[in-house]
Structure 1
């Protein structure tokens, strides 16, 4: 082969040498990528979340049964049960206060991608179904699971619905990241866009929702602006937190509140749980596996390990098993 190359004209030899160099470089890159994938996919890669403050305790609470569980959302019912659902299979699970997991019949397959949940006092469950787990998909619906188990659609006029909550008067709110707004459904059946974040050069993406009963207001996280807003029932709002220009953006997602109104957020980009305190984020725990949502129940915080990165990079396996964590923060939190 060397002699054949030497017999070629100079110009052709240079082209051949360039092609050989490029092929060698590509081979090195492919081998490197393969080694990286083998490293990420080898064995049990499960990380355990850790406390970042004195007096905080973190432990695994419940393991979900499926390798495609991908729990994006969590909600606590008044009686103490927790609800979470799969972003891939549509299955919804009820988790008892003791950590026992049971699947709700009729949810798997009937729902596509569970993105948001809100358990209501009368035994019903509001569900945001994004229909498809593909990162390229759009649209979705607000579903209601009645106390008897029947599923029915309440609305589907969304671009990219994410979370759902309900206020004390029975109004239901849905965040729509794609449309940059919060949508509302009243008990009378009236529905439509209700609130948009303040005007800014940066696009808005309302994401996490929680009802603040102490102030009769809605708390909204914005995953694009990394902001937290409080919105009164009349639609007026105030900014509780705005991430600056410095690095380490939190990637705000789910939000929950203590009975006294303390705001807790899932900082997905930092894999951390943070308390909003005097306009700043105080991280209480970290090293979650893609923390995406939170729920408060009986003095404890419950967090999902969504681990959605493997949905985007299909060659990577998720860090199994999918699980919910429980965090106790003692005197740091009231309620």
Structure 2
């Protein structure tokens, strides 16, 4: 599918002098359940909000002191599942949180039966008031919106919400009222069969997965997406895709911005347009210049001994990167006690424009095949019945 792709070479990577990486907070077990962190966003000041994947909780973290405080159970009411990406809504300071209800259906099965489970009314995105801890549904299956696996969230300046769907391989877009539809269904976002790649090599479920993360450029012109659906494991399954946002708010044609990376589970765009990519397979963090021509390794477990454990969600705050460590592969292998369960601060790492290595843009010489069989998809049109209106 992809040819002419340059594979990042860590052996020649040199850390910027003075670069630091340290753990600022660690979460505990609750009984037998590990407090592994997944999503992360800022509180609009100098603090962070972090979601705990298996405990279905959101916590506030002070990165300067390590102080932690529980904010809310999401969704609450005894519902159990995976609490994944979170993002602060800049219009009112609330938090949008993606939740996938626990089911007995195999997530990675080729036809994604999970996507058509009529008994699941809880999977979706929830809005959390961090001041009161109140939780309310924003868009859920029970509201008639056929999300399958909402994973990551991006919110623009006016409150429009972009949601990646790991199972469907699409990106949804909703306005503040929850009216919306599938925004981009580009083949570059789609999933491919992963047998024999990173899944099999780590003893985790093999199957089909697609777009994982989303992040907006500071000027609002592009939405970046990180996918796990490319070919290959350590140096292929992670693709960085760029989607133009048209004047009317619709999605333009996606292009391949970077490739040759491991599976992605974290994405952030800094104030200067630098794109940060969390390579969860290799526990690395890469930075790409806004034009995509230069790259820089800014954190690495294997190369520099940084406390990374399947590098996960990223957020930029006061000149530093903060990243959660989900320890996904250890969880899948039944090694929960070995997870680090931490939030890592990465500072003084330089910029790819000034300190990075030249990187030719990847060349897509063969268009990817339509990656999803019809049996895996809900029936079109995919829109919100709360408004039947596209954002």
Establish whether residue 317 from structure 1 lines up as the match of residue 324 from structure 2: no
Instruction: Pick the aligned partner of 2:153 from 140, 152, 164.
Output: 164
* Structure 2 contact 41–315 (Cα < 8 Å) conserved: yes
| Closer, same or farther: CA 298–259 of 1 in aligned 2, 3 Å | same
Within 2, Cα distance between the matches of 1:322 and 1:195?
A: 33
- Alpha carbons 2:265, 2:280 under 8 Å: kept: yes
> What is residue 239 of structure 2 aligned with on the other side?
227
Query: Is the 8 Å Cα contact of residues 52 and 284 (structure 1) preserved in structure 2?
Result: no
Gaps of 5+ in 1: 1-50
Matches of 2:94 and 2:73, distance apart in 1: 14
Report the structure, 1 or 2, having the larger helix content.
Answer: 1
CA distance in structure 1 between the partners assigned to 2:103 and 2:314 by the alignment: 20
Q: Report SS of the residue matched to 1:318.
A: helix
Specify the SS of the correspondent of 1:256: strand
| Structure 2 counterpart of 1:209, from 214, 221, 245 | 214
Q: State the secondary structure of the residue aligned to 2:338.
A: coil
* Greater relative contact order, per chain length (Cα 8 Å cut-off, separation 6+): 2
Q: Deviations over 1:162-217 (max 9, x none)?
A: 10110112110100011110001113542111112246996471111112122432
8 Å contact 1:255–1:264 — kept in the other structure?
yes
How many angstroms does 1:243 deviate by? Answer: 2.3
The answer to whether the aligner puts 1:286 opposite 2:300 as a matched pair is yes
- What SS class does the counterpart of residue 130 from structure 1 fall into? strand
2:15 matched residue in structure 1? 53
Shift of 1:332: 2.4
Unaligned runs of 5+ in 2: 1-12, 108-113, 116-122, 141-145, 193-208, 231-237, 302-307, 354-391
1:63 maps to what in 2?
Answer: 26
Whole-angstrom CA distance in 1 between matches of 2:132 and 2:138: 17
Superposed displacement of residue 58, structure 1: 0.6
Structure 1 256/78 Cα, relative in aligned 2: closer, same or farther at 3 Å?
Answer: same
Q: Does 1:302 align with 2:325?
A: no
SS at match of 2:336: coil
Structure 2 distance, partners of 1:201, 1:88, is: 26
Question: In the alignment, which residue of structure 2 is the partner of 1:74?
Answer: 40
The alignment status of 1:85 with 2:51, answered yes or no, reads yes
Report matched runs for 1:93-112 at 5 Å.
Answer: 93-98=59-64, 99-107=66-74, 109=78, 112=81
Contact 1:76 1:295 in 2 (8 A): yes
State TM-score, norm by structure 1.
0.75
- Cα deviation for residue 308 of structure 1 reads 1.5
CA displacement at 1:320 relative to structure 2: 4.5
CA distance in 2, matches of 1:213, 1:134: 40
Superposition deviation, residue 128 in structure 1: 0.2
TM-score by length of 2: 0.65
Kindly report which structure 2 residues correspond to 1:1-335, keeping only aligned pairs within 5 A, or say none.
53-55=15-17, 56-66=19-29, 68-98=34-64, 99-107=66-74, 109=78, 112-121=81-90, 122-132=92-102, 136-137=106-107, 138=114, 140-146=123-129, 147-156=131-140, 157-198=146-187, 203=192, 205-225=210-230, 226-234=238-246, 235-244=251-260, 249-277=261-289, 278-279=292-293, 281-287=295-301, 288-314=308-334, 316-332=335-351
Q: How far apart are the structure 2 equivalents of 1:312 and 1:132? A: 15
When structure 1 is superposed on structure 2, of 138-147 and 321-330 the one drifting more is 138-147
For the pair shown, the structure with the greater C-alpha radius of gyration is 1
1:111 Cα deviation (Å)?
A: 5.8
